[in-house]
Amino acid sequence: MNNKEKSKNIIKILNHTYPKVPIPLNYKNTFTLLISVLLSAQCTDINVNNVTKKIYPKYNQPKHFVKLGRKKIEKLIRKIGIFRIKAKSIFYLSKILVKKYKGKVPKTYEELEQLPGVGHKTASVVMSQGFGYPAFPVDTHIHRLAQRWGLTNGKNVIQTEQDLKAVFPKKYWNRLHLQIIWYGREYCKARECYGITCKICKSCYPNRKKPIKTKKA
């Protein structure tokens, strides 16, 4: 089975499994989406949602976080991993958004990735979920699954993103990104499937007998 055949099969299975795709992170607007994705680094979405549900009703604009200041932001997000570093990024990116973009989140990769704490993956999620731009954000789940399914050689997330964009039609990217994340959490888990038990792994490699080792991004 070549990659094009695999991709069609994967899309079919994922569409059947997730006809409606839930958004993992809760947010109120594009700015809070940006903040939630930034907070989710080295942290579970559940933890981020538990913390932000107490924040966003009151603080949901860049000007709010500028007024709060770093120390108060730290207190609000202290239950999240590396909260001091993230608080610093949130404070300074909020200042930039207020001064340079009139409180709006910019709509280009280049401008987003120049903001403190915002890498390519975070920018991709905002472009995809915030602005509806075709993007294929690659996190550790997607990187791992792309290797298991034989869609990439697994050197790094940038290579994985390029390989996935090459094999899946652009019109499916935004939906697939979320479907693959959910599938990796529920069916093709890091310490359960090992590339040999879930429906997609078995369909891609029906004769695979030994667990496959994946390379970290």
The two counts, helices (H) then strands (E), for the chain are 12, 0
* Annotated catalytic residue within 6, 95, 99, 121: 121
Does residue 139 have an active-site annotation?
yes
**Rounded to whole angstroms, how far apart are CA atoms 199 and 100?**
48
Tell me how far apart the alpha carbons of residues 154 and 217 are, in angstroms, rounded to a whole number: 7
Question: How far out from the chain centre does Cα 105 lie?
Answer: 18
Of 6, 86, 139, 163, the catalytic one is: 139
Rounded distance between C-alpha atoms, residue 141 and residue 184, angstroms: 6
- Confirm if 32 and 56 have CB atoms less than 8 A apart: yes
CA–CA dist 39, 65 (Å, integer) = 14
Catalytic residues: 121, 139
